[in-house]
């Protein structure tokens, strides 16, 4: 097995990675996952629909036409309820839009772009050394250390993003995976380490180390593709946590909607009772007349 | 221009305080402009109209915009030259005005017999207008066909309209809207 046997896969990984270095693509990736795959927007709309459905419709309220209750003016009471409904409707729309925007904002993973840069540069280095036929011992040790560094970098990045999901933020500079500077520093350190080890060590005749090198190489190449699946899982986990927060907010809003609904139903029941009393009176008058 | 596009266009002009004068001739378009005048005014909106019981006056968007403006502490002065009590009693707008009057908010409706016209109009057609904060205005130059000219940033002309409005307003008779829906009228 040589690195050049896998050059097509390495090229594919490099192409995908360079695309994700552009932040707009990373944002679109998050948006596509949130809206089309995990359907967080649909969930938000479904939850808020419950609140909107609880509110009495505008036409019903505008057609509450009685003017007095026991000879006291009812206009202020009716207008108060109408205004409450209007304000609640506006609040629901604003909260719904806010929830959708919050999901996109919190699910956006800044480190996707910078980790993609690291993977791209790693792939370019592999393609570079795959062409060399001579100095095989040097390049095997070089790629051994490079693969090990790549695996450690990606594992560290994934673990850090997973910890962020549970609000455990590591503020140390070593863990700033969202910064391009961080990924450039890491790849530089990996190259220096790989070159140094390449000059210092030679294990071309060591079967065990050669086997380990092959395994590390395969794993690192797999990781460069699995990177996006891992980020997809992290986005889903973040989304699930936000969904629970939305559920709590919506439950509170639903109670407010129910209060407005109950108040307006009270007014409607007064209207119905007044109508029934009027009907009874008319029936009695008709009986008396006949 | 579709209705949604026109709404966005009017909102854009209001948000950017664009000083251009634009025209419209449709009730829906009139509503879009009036809503933006209410939303972008801070202190006082003056309305000179016929009776406000028909067309745009009683639209829910207009009532909501007026409510939000009053709740922000704004003052609304309304002058009507074709006030109809029986129609006002059925109007959602007047019910809302009565509610805010009973809360002591700064809103007052007065009636007048004056029918203003533009000097420059050879046909001497009656005009109605709305002015927001001495900055924005909507001047309805043809009240039958709802044709109007509007601007969201025309302080000189808006001030002229406001001064004209105030000169009539001070001499006009107050209409107690609260009493329309009060106990005396039950």
What's the 3-state SS for chain A?
CCHHHHHHHHHHHHHHHHHHHCHHHHHHHHHHHHHHHCCHHHHHHHHHHHHHHHCCCHHHHHCCCCCEECCEECHHHHHHHHHHHHHHHHHHHHHHHHHHHHHHHHHCCCHHHHHHHHHHHHHHHHHHHHCCCCCHHHHHHHHHHHHHHHHHHHHHHHHHHHHHHCCCCCCCHHHCCCCHHHHHHHHHHHHHHHHHHHHHCCCCCCHHHHHHHHHHHHHHHHHHHHHHHHHHHHHHHHHHHHHHHHHHHHHHHHHHHHHHHHHHHHHHHHHHHHHHHHHHHHHHHHHHHC
Q: Residue B99: which of A58, A71, A79 has the nearest Cβ?
A: A79
Is B64–A86 a contact, with Cβ atoms under 8 angstroms apart? yes
Whole-complex ipTM: 0.85
pLDDT at B186 over 50: no
Domain count across chain B: 1
For B68, the closest chain A residue by CA position comes to A87
Higher-pLDDT residue of A133 and B175 is B175
Q: What residues in chain A have their Cβ under 8 A from chain B's Cβ atoms?
A: 58, 62, 67-68, 71-73, 75-76, 78-80, 82-83, 86
- What digits encode the pLDDT tens for the residues B84-124? 999 998 899 999 999 999 999 999 999 999 999 988 888 88
Pick from B64, B102, B185: CB nearest A76: B102
Q: Which chain A residue has the Cα nearest residue B71?
A: A83
- Split chain A (290 residues) into runs of 10 and give each run's mean pLDDT: 81 88 75 85 91 86 72 82 92 93 82 88 88 73 89 90 70 70 90 88 73 88 89 88 91 93 85 79 84
The DSSP call for residue B94 is H
Higher-confidence position of B165 and A207: B165
Average pLDDT on B121-132 reads 90
CATH number (domain holding residue B120):
3.30.870.10
Contacting residues of A for B102, CB less than 8 Å apart = 76
Considering CB atoms only, which of A71, A75, A82 is closest to B181? A75
Enter the pTM of the model.
Answer: 0.79
Q: What is the residue range of B81's domain? A: 3-11+20-185
Rounded average pLDDT over B33-50: 95
Q: Is B99 on the interface with A (CB under 8 A)?
A: yes
Nearest to A62 among B92, B98, B183 (CB): B92
Enumerate the residues of chain A whose CB falls inside 8 A of the CB of residue B185.
Answer: 67, 73
SS3 assignment, position B3:
helix
Where exactly are the structural domains of chain A? 3-289
């Amino acid at each position: 097995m040589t690195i050049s046997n896998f050059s097509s896969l390495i090229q594919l990984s490099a192409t995908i990675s360079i695309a994700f270095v552009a932040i707009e693509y990373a944002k679109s990736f998050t948006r596509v996952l949130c809206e089309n795959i995990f359907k967080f927007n649909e969930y938000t709309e479904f939850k808020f629909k419950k609140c909107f459905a609880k509110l009495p419709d505008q036409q019903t309220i505008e057609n509450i036409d009685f003017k007095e209750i026991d000879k006291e003016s009812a206009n202020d009471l009716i207008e108060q309820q109408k205004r409450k409904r209007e304000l609640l409707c506006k609040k629901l729309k604003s909260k719904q839009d806010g929830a959708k925007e919050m999901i996109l904002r919190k699910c956006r993973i800044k480190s996707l772009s910078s980790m993609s840069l690291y993977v791209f540069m790693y792939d370019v280095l592999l393609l570079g050394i795959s062409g060399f036929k001579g100095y095989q011992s040097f390049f095997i040790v070089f790629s051994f250390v490079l693969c090990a560094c790549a695996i450690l970098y990606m594992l560290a990045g994934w673990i850090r993003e997973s910890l962020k999901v549970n609000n455990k933020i590591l503020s140390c500079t070593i863990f700033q995976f969202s910064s391009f500077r961080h990924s450039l520093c890491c790849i530089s350190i990996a190259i220096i380490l790989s070159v140094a080890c390449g000059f210092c060590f030679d294990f071309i005749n060591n079967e065990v180390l050669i086997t380990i090198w092959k395994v590390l190489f395969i794993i690192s190449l797999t990781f460069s593709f699995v990177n996006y699946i891992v980020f997809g899982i992290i986005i889903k986990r973040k989304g699930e946590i936000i969904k629970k927060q939305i559920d709590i907010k919506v439950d509170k809003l639903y109670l407010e909607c129910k209060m407005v609904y109950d108040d307006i139903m009270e007014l409607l029941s007064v209207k119905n009772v007044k109508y029934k009393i009027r009907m009874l009176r008319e029936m009695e008058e008709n009986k008396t007349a006949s | 221009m579709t209705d949604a596009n026109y709404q966005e266009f009017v909102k854009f002009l209001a948000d950017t305080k664009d000083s251009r004068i634009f025209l419209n001739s449709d009730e829906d378009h009139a509503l879009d402009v009036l809503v933006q005048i209410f939303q972008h005014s801070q202190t006082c909106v003056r309305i000179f109209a016929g009776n406000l019981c028909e067309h745009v006056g009683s639209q829910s968007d207009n009532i909501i915009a007026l409510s939000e403006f009053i709740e922000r502490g704004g003052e609304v002065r309304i002058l009507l030259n074709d006030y109809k009590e029986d129609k006002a009693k059925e109007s959602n707008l007047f019910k809302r005005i009565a509610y805010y009057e009973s809360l002591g908010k700064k809103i007052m409706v007065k009636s007048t017999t004056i029918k203003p016209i533009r000097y420059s109009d050879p046909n001497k057609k009656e005009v109605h207008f709305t002015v927001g904060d001495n900055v924005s205005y909507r001047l309805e130059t043809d009240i039958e066909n709802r044709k109007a000219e509007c601007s969201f940033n025309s302080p000189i002309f808006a001030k002229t309209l406001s001064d004209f409005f105030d000169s009539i307003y001070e001499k006009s008779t107050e209409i107690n809207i609260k009493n329309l829906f009060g106990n005396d009228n039950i």
